[in-house]
Structure 1
Amino acid sequence: MLFQVGGQGARPTFFEMSAAQQLPASLHAALSYSLGVFALRRPILHKVLDYEDEFFALLMAVLESHSLRTTDGSFSESLYGLRRRPVKVSVKSSSSSAEFSDKAYDSALRKRQKVLSVVFLVVLPYFKSKLQSIYNKEREARLQASLWGQGDVRFDEAGVISDQGETPQAQVEATTGEVSNVARIKKNFAALIGVCYPWIHATNEGLSFAYQLLYLLDGTAFYSPALHALGLHVCRATGQELMDSSSRISRIRSRELERLRGPPWLKTVQRVLLNCMYTSLDYAQTGLIAAVFFFKMMEWWYQSAEERMSAPTVYPPPPPPPLPKVAKDGLPLPPDRTLCPLCCQKRNNPSVLSVSGFVFCYSCIFKSVSQHKRCPITLMPATVEQIRRLFHDL
């Protein structure tokens, strides 16, 4: 039933929309992992990792803008053969009792809708990730303050221990009022984010879950609140639309090449740069999707390797130690193993002497070891601390 919900006609299934929505997160993780591996050999890439959110947002802005311009769909939606179509509501007045509304689709997206789509696809997720990082730092600061106290020792950003209770007078004089005001504003903003972000995140996730559930149950045609706010539906692209998009890309590129101005050598340089950019954009989808699959494969490989390395090694049980030998001048063992070798009676309160492993009555072995400081059978040195009580007689 779940595979058939929304699967008829031009409407995508729930699983197509879910896969298209989760692709950017997988792509971000794949690129971060790849840069982290390359940074082990090229330390200069650590600077890129410090601003990975900004670089990824810039990359996605270029890809989303190009995809919306040429295919009327986002980068991940165009990969699954999906297109965005604006909803146009036309009112029919043929009925005298009531008016009926019918939803139809326009042929292409308007420029305003493309710009807003880039905002919802790139800008808002970027700000959400930055708010998430600020919230995490604020939560760690509150946890550290609860552990160390407000006026006790605290770690600064450089990792140096600083005492908040005693501050040198020279350092206080060196701190200007402007810096203190900026620091106070940043602190208040971080505290505000720490209070408001959980509610914002919960509201966003709740609305997204409600829309996805209604889309799955065929209760709404919008998969997310962003599509509802933009007034856009996502539908499957037909074969004619795919051919039209290819011809549209060719017309746009030929028009851009015709607009080149300047001397011949400058036109040649511009034409080479544009062709390189077109080639990069054409193979960007294939390359980035290959990076996602490569990341998943490496994640599975290293995870299985770590599981094999962390799995406990099962060794065969060691052979039992040899039985202690009865000394030549030691006490002989009784023929019945249930008897005490000292009193030759049924063992009472059985206890073992750990140096030899023989079992006696507790009172008998305690007196013997206290007096002779050795095992009465093997004559090995022993103390009363080496007597162990047995709760099950052997």
Structure 2
Amino acid sequence: MLFQVGGQGTRPTFFEMAAAQQLPASLRAALTYSIGVLALRRPFLHKVLDYDDEFFALLMMVLETHSLRTTDASFSESLYGLRRRAVKITPSKNAPNMDSGDMLRHSGLEKHQRVLSVAFLVVLPYFKSKLHSIYNKEREAILQASLWGEADTALDDAGYFQVGGEFSHPPREGSDSEPSRVARFRKRITAIIGVCYPWIHATNEGLSFAYQLLYLLDATGFYTPALHVLGVHVCRATGQELMDTSSRISRIRSRERERLRGPPWLKALQRALLSCMYTTLDYAQTGLIAAVFFFKMMEWWYQSAEERMSAPTVYPPPPPPPPPKVAEDGIPLPPDRTICPLCSEKRANPSVVAVSGFVFCYACIFKYISQYKRCPVTLMPATIDQIRRLFHDV
């Protein structure tokens, strides 16, 4: 463990691996937040938010494929100076016993390992996100049904909509059985996902935690189960490897330019497109992270000014409503405001009726409302619960 914290040798520390693994999730959250803020002024960006899983999966597919092809590392691993190496076990020539003489030898990634790496880095997280979304919707539907019961509008087995106890035919756009079959099939798939996903998620998280704990304790060289399945170790890139990366990228791009076919104008157009693509990919790592950081900084910088500009105008409070009128058959009000209208004496234990606002003696108004269930002045319906004691008489 101390070796892992110290960060010596070619083996990455636990913290480096954790940071590299958490970078895609943090990057997605930052991009989603940035696009959401920009969509407030550019409504067409809401379409990107509606398909955020597909948009981010496509972006990571391009970045991960390019990174694995050129640097033998994922997008986040290359940012931290890490490289993926295939693990091969070679028996020692000196030791006759293979178990005690086996040695680990690292080599570059093979083609199928790069393809599988993209699948583990992009495809599986995409399906996991989709399953998580379906599971959350199913759980919310079950919770809503348990709290509020079934909805007022439901489709029974005979194909009728039940609305408020009455049945009506649903709109028909063709075959009657086909939509119901598709709906039943989707409902069954959703129910299966709702039952199986918690176990799949718990198993995945448990395996990941076990591998990370073993990696921290220096008991295994694989940080995740995916790396173990691929037979790949993540190592720190040496200085020579970092220098060889640029020459390797140059050779790959030279071969791609040599494969161009067609008339001169078409070759020139293809070279220009390749140059734009190469420039975009070269600066994708630093540019993408720097853009998100710059956007967050600018948002913080102008947040106070925007809040002042967008703050609603503070209007004066509206005038109080007019007092209720005295009913024709009600008890008239005495000229002195300190006199109780019921007993025509100075108020004792003044209490107000909440529905009308008039003040009486507590004993008088309690007895009157208990008997007549109304205010004696306005004749508005009232109960004894609407009597409020006043500790300062006006």
Q: TM-score range by the shorter chain?
A: 0.7 to 0.9
Matches of 1:292 and 1:2, distance apart in 2:
34
After TM superposition, the structure 1 stretch with the greater mean CA deviation from structure 2, 211-220 or 161-170, is 161-170
Which of 361, 364, 368 does residue 384 from structure 1 map onto?
A: 361
Correspondence 1:112-151 to 2 at 5 A: 112-150=112-150
Structure-2 change in CA distance of 1:195 and 1:6 (3 Å)? farther
Structure-2 change in CA distance of 1:6 and 1:179 (3 Å)? farther
Q: CA deviation at 1:174?
A: 6.2
Question: What is the identity, as a one-letter code, of the residue corresponding to 2:238?
Answer: T
Q: CA deviation at 1:289?
A: 1.4
Correspondence 1:1-394 to 2 at 5 A: 4-5=4-5, 7-92=7-92, 94-96=94-96, 99-150=99-150, 152-153=152-153, 163=163, 166-169=166-169, 171=171, 176-294=176-294, 297=297, 372-374=345-347, 383-385=360-362
Match of 1:339 in 2: none
Report if the CA contact (8 A) 1:211-1:225 is conserved: yes
SS at match of 1:100: helix
Question: What is the identity, as a one-letter code, of the residue corresponding to 1:211?
Answer: Y
Match of 1:335 in 2: none
Report if the CA contact (8 A) 1:214-1:220 is conserved: yes
SS at match of 1:372: coil
Question: What is the identity, as a one-letter code, of the residue corresponding to 1:59?
Answer: L
After TM superposition, the structure 1 stretch with the greater mean CA deviation from structure 2, 95-104 or 258-267, is 95-104
Q: CA deviation at 1:230?
A: 0.5
Report if the CA contact (8 A) 1:82-1:236 is conserved: yes
Report if the CA contact (8 A) 1:71-1:83 is conserved: yes
Matches of 2:162 and 2:297, distance apart in 1:
45
Q: CA deviation at 1:300?
A: 7.1
Provide Cα deviations, 1:191-211, integer angstroms capped at 9, x if missing partner: 001001111111111111111
Matches of 2:69 and 2:43, distance apart in 1:
37
Provide Cα deviations, 1:87-118, integer angstroms capped at 9, x if missing partner: 10012253346642434333310000000000
Q: CA deviation at 1:382?
A: 7.2
Question: What is the identity, as a one-letter code, of the residue corresponding to 2:62?
Answer: V
Matches of 2:167 and 2:294, distance apart in 1:
52
Q: TM-score, normalised by structure 1?
A: 0.73
Question: What is the identity, as a one-letter code, of the residue corresponding to 2:184?
Answer: R
Provide Cα deviations, 1:126-179, integer angstroms capped at 9, x if missing partner: 000000110011111112222332363579xxxxx9738544136479662111
Number of aligned residue pairs: 324
Report if the CA contact (8 A) 2:113-2:230 is conserved: yes
After TM superposition, the structure 1 stretch with the greater mean CA deviation from structure 2, 67-76 or 280-289, is 280-289
Matches of 2:345 and 2:230, distance apart in 1:
96
Matches of 2:146 and 2:35, distance apart in 1:
36
Provide Cα deviations, 1:285-344, integer angstroms capped at 9, x if missing partner: 111111443466578779999xxxxxxxxxxxxxxxxxxxxxxxxxxxxxxxxxxxxxxx
Matches of 1:220 and 1:88, distance apart in 2:
15
Question: What is the identity, as a one-letter code, of the residue corresponding to 2:68?
Answer: L
Matches of 1:43 and 1:284, distance apart in 2:
26
Matches of 2:300 and 2:212, distance apart in 1:
29
Provide Cα deviations, 1:22-56, integer angstroms capped at 9, x if missing partner: 11011111111121122111111111111111011
Matches of 1:154 and 1:373, distance apart in 2:
65
After TM superposition, the structure 1 stretch with the greater mean CA deviation from structure 2, 97-106 or 42-51, is 97-106
Matches of 1:222 and 1:164, distance apart in 2:
59
Q: Percent identity?
A: 71
Structure 2, gaps ≥5 residues long: 156-160, 306-336, 350-357, 363-387
Matches of 1:195 and 1:164, distance apart in 2:
31
Q: CA deviation at 1:384?
A: 3.4
Matches of 2:188 and 2:170, distance apart in 1:
26
SS at match of 1:106: strand
Structure-2 change in CA distance of 1:296 and 1:38 (3 Å)? closer
Structure-2 change in CA distance of 1:68 and 1:145 (3 Å)? same
Q: TM-score, normalised by structure 2?
A: 0.73
Report if the CA contact (8 A) 2:84-2:232 is conserved: yes
Matches of 1:162 and 1:91, distance apart in 2:
73
Matches of 2:89 and 2:204, distance apart in 1:
27
SS at match of 1:8: coil
Match of 1:338 in 2: none
After TM superposition, the structure 1 stretch with the greater mean CA deviation from structure 2, 165-174 or 277-286, is 165-174
